């Protein structure tokens, strides 16, 4: 059924269809409406879950982890400062291999204080052991939540997932979204059956114990194996998702990459703007392509390399900055594959990225002066 809704509504609809048993959420702009939709679903009896009203995001993720430890499906959602406050427990959730799914409305981190969009919040949690999937639109937000549960709960993965939607650009704008039937979702996503870590008096175990140097490192190694193995699990889940719902996904999306001389690499809603620019330029005969990275963790290095290796020039667009070294996606691509790319920082704290900026990026990529230099797009001084 097609409905005109925001990404936050689409995400909440997906959560309702996934039937979690516990939902601890603390409201924060621009995630707030997710918490409101879920609260009304529970109050109206549409979602049979325990909605825990917590006093902070640290408590929200702590309650989510505790609930996951009882062996039930759990959802939480946050944004920006809230995600930063969760930082400590994010590592605990991944280390305890709790298959929690979280919605993150991407928003800038303070200071200066901003409620607007960039992707610094989730990118800064890249080492936590959580998987991160970036949605371009509301439909993907819905679809990725359903897929995230399948991927996280897979016996070969057992790591938590974050579905990232760009704050305001997606969370507060509406577009047509196909909401699947409960019957189809139940077919794709059966109830969670915990086997590895759950509190059950019949099979007692200790969760979250102290580990001495004899154990810690092996547990971390197992997480790395699980994260690398998640690549194949995502492909399998994408295929099964297509069979049930008819929508095709991969770890990356290639848009006009086949014969492209210049390929732009980006994540999230900005890919919509880039596609529109590419369509215009293709009509003028310019061979430009886009590689949309959906799965930031696990990092799909082979998929990225195979998509960009034949292009003459590559531009990587980051809505984040690791001070002193540049955009994180740019640096990871440079570190993991032998390609020459130009890095661009843009859209921080809600700075608008109009199509003209994308054209400017293409021109700078075509004739780079220094690829080591980090290019800032939209800074007032340069205009």
212 binds another protein (CB under 8 A): yes
Using alpha carbons, list the distances in angstroms from residue 303 to 232, 300, 380: 12, 5, 36
Instruction: Choose between 196 and 236: whose C-beta lies nearer to another protein.
Output: 196
- Distance between CA atoms of 93 and 88, rounded to whole angstroms? 9
Q: Segment contacting another protein (CB under 8 A): 48-56, 177-185, 201-209, 238-246?
A: 201-209
> Dihedral of the CA atoms 121, 5, 159, 75 (nearest 10)?
100
Single out the residue of 282, 350, 339 nearest to residue 316, CA to CA: 339
Task: Please report, in angstroms and rounded to a whole number, the separation of the first and last CA atoms in the chain.
Answer: 46
70 binds another protein (CB under 8 A): no
Structure-block tokens of residue 225: 């194996």
Quote the least distance from Cβ 198 to another protein, whole Å.
9
Instruction: Choose between 96 and 177: whose C-beta lies nearer to another protein.
Output: 96
374 binds another protein (CB under 8 A): no
Single out the residue of 143, 127, 154 nearest to residue 180, CA to CA: 143
20, 30, 95, 350: which one binds another protein (CB under 8 A): 95
197 binds another protein (CB under 8 A): yes
Using alpha carbons, list the distances in angstroms from residue 99 to 58, 193, 210: 18, 11, 21
158, 163, 237, 316: which one binds another protein (CB under 8 A): 158
- Distance between CA atoms of 237 and 201, rounded to whole angstroms? 33
233 binds another protein (CB under 8 A): no
- How many CB atoms are located within 10 Å of the residue 96 CB? 20
43 binds another protein (CB under 8 A): no
Instruction: Choose between 25 and 159: whose C-beta lies nearer to another protein.
Output: 159
186, 222, 224, 279: which one binds another protein (CB under 8 A): 222
Quote the least distance from Cβ 312 to another protein, whole Å.
45
98 binds another protein (CB under 8 A): yes
Site string for another protein, 106-135 (x = CB under 8 A): ------------------------------
203 binds another protein (CB under 8 A): yes
Single out the residue of 293, 282, 259, 254 nearest to residue 132, CA to CA: 293
Is residue 335 within 8 A of residue 325, CB to CB? The reply is no
45, 201, 204, 324: which one binds another protein (CB under 8 A): 204
- Distance between CA atoms of 5 and 76, rounded to whole angstroms? 20
Instruction: Choose between 71 and 378: whose C-beta lies nearer to another protein.
Output: 71
Instruction: Choose between 197 and 371: whose C-beta lies nearer to another protein.
Output: 197
- Distance between CA atoms of 343 and 74, rounded to whole angstroms? 37
Q: Segment contacting another protein (CB under 8 A): 13-21, 109-117, 215-223, 345-353?
A: 215-223
Quote the least distance from Cβ 188 to another protein, whole Å.
24
Q: Segment contacting another protein (CB under 8 A): 103-111, 170-178, 179-187, 217-225?
A: 217-225
Query: Containing H/E element for 375?
Result: strand 374-376
4, 43, 53, 219: which one binds another protein (CB under 8 A): 219
201 binds another protein (CB under 8 A): no
Count of residues that bind another protein according to CB under 8 A: 21
Quote the least distance from Cβ 75 to another protein, whole Å.
19
Is residue 57 within 8 A of residue 47, CB to CB? The reply is no
Is residue 173 within 8 A of residue 233, CB to CB? The reply is no
Is residue 274 within 8 A of residue 175, CB to CB? The reply is no
**Residues near another protein, by CB under 8 A:** 95-98, 158, 196-197, 203-207, 209, 211-212, 214-216, 218-219, 222
């Amino acid at each position: 059924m097609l409905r005109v809704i925001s990404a936050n509504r689409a995400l909440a609809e997906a959560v309702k269809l996934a039937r979690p048993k516990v939902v601890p959420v603390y409201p924060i702009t621009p995630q707030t409406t997710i918490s409101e939709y879920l609260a009304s679903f529970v109050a109206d009896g549409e979602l049979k879950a325990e909605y825990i009203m917590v006093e902070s995001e640290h408590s929200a993720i702590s309650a989510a982890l505790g609930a996951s430890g009882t062996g039930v499906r759990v959802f939480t959602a946050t944004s920006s400062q809230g995600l930063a406050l969760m930082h400590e427990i994010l590592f605990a959730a991944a280390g305890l291999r709790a298959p929690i799914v979280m919605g993150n409305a991407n928003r800038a981190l303070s200071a200066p204080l901003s409620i607007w969009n960039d992707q610094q919040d989730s990118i800064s949690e890249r080492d936590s052991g959580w998987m991160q999937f970036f949605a371009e639109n509301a439909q993907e937000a819905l679809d990725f939540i359903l897929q995230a549960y399948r991927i996280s709960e897979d016996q070969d993965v057992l790591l938590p997932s974050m579905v990232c939607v760009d704050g305001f650009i997606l969370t507060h704008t509406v577009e047509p979204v196909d909401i699947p039937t409960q019957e189809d979702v139940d077919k794709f996503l059966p109830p969670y059956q915990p086997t590895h870590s759950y509190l059950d008096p019949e099979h007692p175990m200790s969760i979250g114990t102290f580990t001495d140097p004899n154990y810690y490192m092996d547990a971390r190694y197992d997480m790395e194996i699980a994260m690398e193995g998640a690549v194949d699990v995502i492909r399998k889940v994408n295929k099964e998702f297509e069979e049930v719902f008819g929508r095709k996904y991969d770890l990356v999306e290639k848009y006009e990459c086949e014969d492209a001389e210049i390929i732009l690499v980006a994540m999230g809603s900005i890919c919509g703007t880039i596609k529109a620019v590419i369509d215009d330029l293709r009509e003028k005969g310019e061979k430009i392509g886009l590689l949309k990275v959906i799965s930031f963790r696990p990092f799909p290095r082979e998929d990225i390399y195979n998509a960009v290796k034949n292009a003459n020039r590559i531009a990587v667009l980051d809505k984040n900055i690791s001070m002193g070294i540049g955009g994180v996606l740019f640096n990871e691509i440079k570190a993991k594959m032998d390609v020459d790319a130009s890095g661009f920082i843009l859209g921080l704290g809600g700075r608008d990225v109009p199509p003209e900026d994308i054209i400017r990026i293409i021109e700078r990529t075509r004739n780079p002066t220094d690829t080591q230099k980090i290019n800032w797009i939209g800074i007032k001084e340069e205009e």
